[in-house]
Structure formats: C-alpha cells, structure tokens
Structure 1
Amino acid sequence: MEMATNWQYSESFAETNLTMLENKALCDVIFAAGNEQKQIKCHKFFLASRSPVFYAMFCGGTLAESKDIIYVPDIESTTLDHLKRWI
C-alpha cells in the first residue's frame, strides 16, 4: 500500500474505501472460496455494516466466527469477490 496520497482526500467515502479494498489495506478477514479455496481478503467492518448475515457472523457473541480463514466451498470465488465489491 502506498503512503498517503490524494485518494485519501476524496470527498467520496466509497472511493476511499474502494482504494483500501483494492490495495488490501487493513483487511482483517480472509474467505477461502469455492472448490479451489481461493483466498479473498475483506474488511469485517464493511461487510457487517451492510449485511445482517455478516454482522451476525462477526458480532454474534458465542456464535461469532473466530477463525483466521473462513471456508465457503459452496460459493465460487468470482461470485464472492463481486459480492464483496458490491457491499
């Protein structure tokens, strides 16, 4: 990740977040998707803030996911990557 640059001064919160996501800066969860278990790095904060399912997954008390890598073999990596970017 490059040092502070103009991207941090964008008026669009979405633009700055997309830059962080594309650079994989401060990602704190990894999904291993599909049969090939391709690793996709994400931000728990963004996922949980936009999805009640992800919120329950990360903040659900005793049911909260605590693994370093979350395996999701029933979703292809390209689909999960599109979902991540949409969120």
Structure 2
Amino acid sequence: MIFGIVTAVAAVLGVLAVVVLALLERPHVAAVLLGSGMVMMGFLRGAWPGRPWFSARNRWFDALVFALVGVAILWLSPWTAQIPPA
C-alpha cells in the first residue's frame, strides 16, 4: 500500500516537474526527465508483482511498453533543443 502511494506521489511530482521545465523553456531537460521516468516505471512494473495502479495488461507487456516509450523519448530528446523559444 505505501509503495503505491510513494510511486503515485513520485509520478505526480515528475509530471509537474516536466510541465514547469517546459514552461521555463527547458524542453530538453523536460524530455530527458520524462523519458527517464518512463524507463524507471518500466523497471518498476517488471519488478512489482500483482496489479499496481499503473498497470494496464500483462506485467511484461506493460514493462516493455513503458521502457520502449521511455527510450524513444530519450532518443528523440536532442531534437527538442532545436525548438525555438516562443
């Protein structure tokens, strides 16, 4: 139970940090933080038995999707530095 609350609070704080970084015109740092968080959620989903709040389907399928999306965001993150400020 406490692990679920801790991960939920960490996820909310991570999303807020990404939004703040994006608003402060730091899109590359925001993308790296988002991608790293997705990869970390993939590892957590692979290690956490049962059905936590961030599960959707099969445990290994969830972990794979989290990790692949996170790696894709990290791979594409250098191009966010090319975005001109508004």
TM-score, normalised relative to structure 1: 0.30
Between Structure 1 and Structure 2, which shows a larger proportion of strand residues? 1
TM-score, normalised relative to structure 2: 0.30
Between Structure 1 and Structure 2, which shows a larger proportion of helix residues? 2
Ranked by relative contact order (alpha carbons within 8 Å, sequence separation 6 or more), the top structure is 2
